[in-house]
């Protein structure tokens, strides 16, 4: 069994959740991986997967019991999210996931972190951050479509931790991960949950995820 196949079961990594590999999800991934898929279709099918990612992320937030009255004058014992949330996108590809979060969470606050990777060393460097002033009191959904080496995501988590956000209140949402990136991230950011759509085979010599889907930001934003 390959390393990625082992990780995809997520049973050996309690802080990693992989979306159920349903025929619908696999078909969506097939569309966005295809080099022949045009930008309009890439955006549409990516947005569908992003919505699934956000909905799964919300399943990991704490809830409390809430009883309401229905229009039939009967009581219904349900649930209510406990605590405030916000999204933080790693610019620029992560910004593609913001609308999916807004579609699920009305009037949600969203912060931004700009981290760029040195193409020669693959090291991450922080350039900009703008976050809600009360972020330490919120559950944070960290947004970035791809987890390759893990450098950018780890630096983003370090920024959040420096603002007082507890590690167990951070959920990192991404569409595709590499096994190497997951291992590096989990070692560097204990307590932070990863929610991913798929774990790929690994990284190539340029440290890009393979088979991957190319540069997500270019395919999402560029004509």
Q: Give 9's pLDDT tier (boundaries 50, 70, 90).
A: very low
User: What are the Cα distances from residue 116, in Å, to 26, 86, 92?
Assistant: 30, 22, 9
Residues across the chain? 223
The answer on pLDDT for 42 being more than 50 is yes
Q: What is the pLDDT of residue 4?
A: 46
Q: Give 11's pLDDT tier (boundaries 50, 70, 90).
A: very low
pTM of the entire predicted model: 0.89
**Which of the two residues, 73 and 6, has the higher pLDDT score?**
73
Q: What is the CATH number of domain 3-221?
A: 3.40.50.2020
Rounded Cα distance, 112 and 167, in Å: 18
Q: Which of 48, 51, 92, 117 is labelled catalytic?
A: 117
Q: Is 121 a catalytic residue?
A: yes
The answer on pLDDT for 119 being more than 60 is yes
Q: Is 30 a catalytic residue?
A: no
Q: Is 215 a catalytic residue?
A: yes
Q: What is the pLDDT of residue 125?
A: 82
Any idea where the domains of the chain sit in the sequence? 3-221
Q: Is 218 a catalytic residue?
A: yes
Q: What is the pLDDT of residue 90?
A: 95
CA 168-170-180 angle, to 5 degrees, is: 100
Q: What is the mean pLDDT of the chain?
A: 91
Q: Which of 121, 123, 134, 137 is labelled catalytic?
A: 121
What are the start-end ranges of the E strands in the chain? Answer: 16-18, 63-69, 75-81, 84-91, 109-117, 124-130, 138-143, 146-147, 170-177, 193-199, 202-203, 209-210
């Amino acid at each position: 069994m390959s390393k990625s196949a082992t990780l995809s079961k997520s049973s050996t990594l309690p802080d990693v959740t992989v979306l159920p590999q349903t025929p619908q999800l696999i078909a969506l991934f097939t569309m966005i991986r295809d080099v022949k898929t045009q930008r309009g279709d890439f955006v549409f099918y990516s947005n569908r997967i992003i919505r699934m990612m956000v909905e799964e992320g919300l399943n990991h937030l704490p809830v409390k019991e809430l009883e309401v009255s229905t229009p039939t004058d009967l009581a219904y014992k349900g649930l209510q999210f406990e605590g405030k949330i916000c999204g933080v996108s790693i610019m620029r590809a992560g910004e593609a996931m913001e609308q999916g979060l807004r579609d699920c969470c009305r009037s949600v606050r969203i912060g931004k972190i700009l981290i760029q990777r040195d193409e020669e060393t693959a090291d991450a460097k922080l350039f900009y951050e703008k976050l809600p002033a009360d972020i330490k009191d919120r559950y944070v959904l960290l947004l970035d479509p791809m987890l390759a080496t893990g450098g950018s995501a780890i630096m983003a988590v370090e920024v959040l931790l420096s603002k007082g956000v507890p590690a167990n209140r951070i959920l990192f949402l991404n569409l595709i991960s590499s096994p190497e990136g997951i291992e590096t991230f989990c070692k560097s950011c204990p307590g932070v949950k990863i929610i991913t759509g798929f774990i790929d085979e690994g990284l190539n010599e340029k440290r890009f995820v393979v088979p991957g889907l190319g540069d997500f930001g270019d395919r999402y934003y560029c004509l």
